[in-house]
Structure 1
Amino acid sequence: MRRSASPDAIHAQILMNTPFENEEQAKGVAGYLESQLGLASSFLNVNADDLKEAERVIENENGSVKITYDLEKKGGCQNAHTIGDLGVAYLSEIEQIDVVCDGSEKQYKR
């Protein structure tokens, strides 16, 4: 991840294969992602629904939507890795997810 963070930071950075058109469209993409991950987690009895309450930054990354979630206050490491697992397994719109948790980094790719 290209984001400087404290060693105890917990972030999930999601790169979508959805083209970035404008900020409003990108917010809609983020809302869709959050709803779908929440739905998938409810069927699998795991917790990924904290995304809707987490702080997020939405950006244009080389023409694609990139969403970074700060999960320090919402969900912690376990939730961040659950998001990585569910995201690449169930949502074809996700290209990759980078999780930084307690100083270590893991990349989830399709």
Structure 2
Amino acid sequence: MTFDPFGDFVTEGYLQNFEKEKNLAIIKRAEHASFVTGLDEAFAHLAKSERLAYDDVLKVHGILFGAVYPWAGQDRTQTTPKLTIKKGTVIFANAPEIIAAVEVRLTQGSGQGLYES
């Protein structure tokens, strides 16, 4: 079964990639190449931030996957606000909840925790 949250695999390819490619092996190679090529720029961006925020996540996502997907780095609350994305049994955060979910994880990842005294 193909991961097709947009419901347009037949016309737009895997996850609406620029080339409308349907072959997952080719997409995985393109994703890997895009990711590796963008690492230095992504790390440079992250190094500039004293405290990471949702906008940083969007920027890095765009840097790492923007060569493959036109929507990479864009806010899902703007691009697909009503789309529920599921892969197998995993349900990704819905658009209205994504900013809060990312901010919570960034706070937890910073070692600050959610409940400081």
- Structure of greater relative contact order (alpha carbons < 8 Å, 6+ residues apart): 1
TM over 0.5: no
Whichever structure has more helix as a proportion of its residues is: 2
Q: TM-score w.r.t. structure 2 length? A: 0.35
